Amino acid sequence: MSTPGPLFRPYDKLVKITVKGREVEVPDNNMILRALQFVAGDNIAYGRFCWNEECQYCRITYDMGEGTPSHTAISCKVLVKAGMRITQMDTELRYCLRDLPAPAENQKP
């Protein structure tokens, strides 16, 4: 019988990304969906995610800052990058991030 590995891939630092207009810190060197589990632990764990590019419930739209092009991605297969701004999410992922606090006044876009 094997034991499960650690939840997160090894990382050297936390990187800042923006989700729902809120800046959060997540572990570098992890897929975006896994990195979001750092801030929404059980809600992501209990989400209906396949973690294998099939369900598409983790689909996001993101950019790398003001004036940069938007990309659509499957967040279980794309590595998180510092400065990412997740602008749209599939309903399931949005629901799993429901407890993420609204942006503070000084963080509103």
- In the beta sheet, which residues pair with residue 72? 61
- DSSP code, position 76: T
Residue 62 found at the interface with ligand FES (CB under 6 A): no
Q: Which range of residues in 20-28, 34-42, 52-60, 97-105 is near ligand FES by CB under 6 A?
A: 52-60
Residue 56 found at the interface with ligand FES (CB under 6 A): yes
Least Å distance, CB 103 to ligand FES, is: 25
Least Å distance, CB 63 to ligand FES, is: 20
Residue ranges of E strands in 50-101: 59-63, 71-74, 85-89
Least Å distance, CB 73 to ligand FES, is: 10
What residue type is 13 in one-letter code? K
Length of the chain equals: 109
**Which residue's structure tokens are 């400065």?**
83
Is the Cβ of residue 42 or residue 53 nearer to ligand FES in the bound state? Answer: 53
Residue 76 found at the interface with ligand FES (CB under 6 A): yes
Is the Cβ of residue 39 or residue 55 nearer to ligand FES in the bound state? Answer: 55
Taking Cα atoms as reference points, which of 42, 41, 43 lies closest to residue 98? 43
